[in-house]
C-alpha cells in the first residue's frame, strides 16, 4: 500500500507491523521487521520475538492476588489491590480502625450508631450524623432533647412528684390526727376523774 505525505515523499504500510514506512526503505524494513518483531496477540504491540514470551508473562499472563487469591491479568493487579480486592485494608470513617474491606459495611453500621457528646449544644449525637450536625449546630443547649441518659432521670423526677400527695390532703390528715388525739385525751381525763370519785366514795 502506497501513500503520499506532505513532503511529497511516498510511503508504504508495512504488512507486518502496519507502520507507514518510506517507500524507498520498505523492502529493507519489512525484511528486518518480519524477522525480528512479533505482534502481541493480546495488546497488539510489536515486541522483539526473543522477548515475546517475557512480554506476555510480565504483562498479560494471569496472576493470583496475594490477598484474596483471585486470578487476573497482571496489568490490572495493582488496580485490583488498590480499589477492588475485598481483602484490601481500609479504615473505618468513624473510628479509623483498619480492617479488610469486606468487613467494613457491617462494622460501620454498628460503629456509626455510637454516640458522642456535642460540647456546643450538650446533646449526644450519632457518629454517622456528626458531620451534618456540626454544620447546623447553633451551640444552644437543648436539655429537653438530650439523650436517653438525660431524659430518664427527668422522667423519674416527674414520677416522684406525681406520687407526692397534694398539700391539701396532708393538711386534712394532720387535722384529723390532732382531733383523734384530743378526743383520746378527753376520754382519758373523764375516765381518770370517774375513777377518782369512785375511790373517794369508798
Question: Number of folded domains in the chain?
Answer: 1
Residue 2: φ, ψ to 5° = -115, 140
Q: Is residue 52 part of a domain?
A: yes
Beta strands 10-13 and 20-22: pairing type?
Answer: antiparallel
Identify the CATH number of the domain in which residue 37 sits. 3.30.40
Q: Is residue 142 part of a domain?
A: no
Q: Is residue 103 part of a domain?
A: no
The residues pairing with 71 across neighbouring beta strands, listed in sequence order, are 64
Output the CA–CA distances (angstroms, integers) from residue 193 to 123, 170, 179, in the order listed: 73, 35, 21
Residue ranges making up the domain that contains 32 = 11-60
In this prediction, the residues of the chain whose per-residue pLDDT falls under 70 are 1-8, 141-172, 175, 192, 195-202
Q: Is residue 21 part of a domain?
A: yes
Q: Is residue 100 part of a domain?
A: no
Mean pLDDT, all residues of the chain: 80
| Grid cell for residue 117 | 457528646
For the whole model, what pTM was predicted? 0.45
pLDDT in tens, 40-69: 888 889 999 999 989 988 888 899 999 999
Query: Do 11 and 3 touch, CB atoms closer than 8 A?
Result: yes
Beta strands 71-73 and 62-64: pairing type?
Answer: antiparallel
Q: Is residue 84 part of a domain?
A: no
Q: Is residue 35 part of a domain?
A: yes
Strands (E) in the chain, as ranges, are 2-4, 10-13, 20-22, 37-39, 46-48, 62-64, 71-73, 89-91, 98-100, 115-117, 124-126
Output the CA–CA distances (angstroms, integers) from residue 89 to 43, 95, 99, in the order listed: 31, 14, 5
At 117 the pLDDT is: 92
Q: Is residue 18 part of a domain?
A: yes
At 6 the pLDDT is: 45
At 88 the pLDDT is: 97
Amino acid at each position: 500500500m502506497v501513500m503520499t505525505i506532505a513532503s511529497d515523499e511516498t510511503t508504504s504500510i508495512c504488512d507486518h507491523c502496519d507502520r507507514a514506512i518510506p517507500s524507498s526503505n520498505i523492502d529493507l524494513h519489512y525484511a528486518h521487521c518480519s524477522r525480528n518483531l512479533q505482534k502481541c496477540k493480546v495488546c497488539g504491540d510489536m515486541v522483539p520475538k526473543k522477548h515475546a514470551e517475557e512480554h506476555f508473562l510480565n504483562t498479560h499472563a494471569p496472576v493470583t492476588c496475594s490477598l484474596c487469591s483471585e486470578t487476573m491479568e497482571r496489568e490490572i493487579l495493582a488496580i485490583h489491590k488498590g480499589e477492588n480486592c475485598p481483602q484490601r485494608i481500609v479504615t473505618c470513617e468513624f473510628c479509623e480502625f483498619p480492617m479488610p474491606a469486606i468487613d467494613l459495611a457491617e462494622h460501620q453500621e454498628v460503629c456509626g450508631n455510637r454516640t458522642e457528646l456535642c460540647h456546643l449544644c450538650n446533646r449526644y449525637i450519632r457518629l454517622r450524623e456528626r458531620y451534618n450536625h456540626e454544620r447546623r449546630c447553633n451551640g444552644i443547649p437543648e436539655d429537653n432533647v438530650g439523650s436517653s441518659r438525660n431524659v430518664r432521670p427527668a422522667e423519674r423526677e416527674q414520677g416522684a412528684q406525681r406520687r407526692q400527695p397534694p398539700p391539701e390532703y396532708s393538711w386534712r390528715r394532720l387535722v384529723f390526727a390532732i382531733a383523734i388525739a384530743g378526743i383520746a385525751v378527753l376520754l382519758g381525763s373523764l375516765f381518770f376523774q370517774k375513777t377518782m370519785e369512785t375511790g373517794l366514795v369508798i
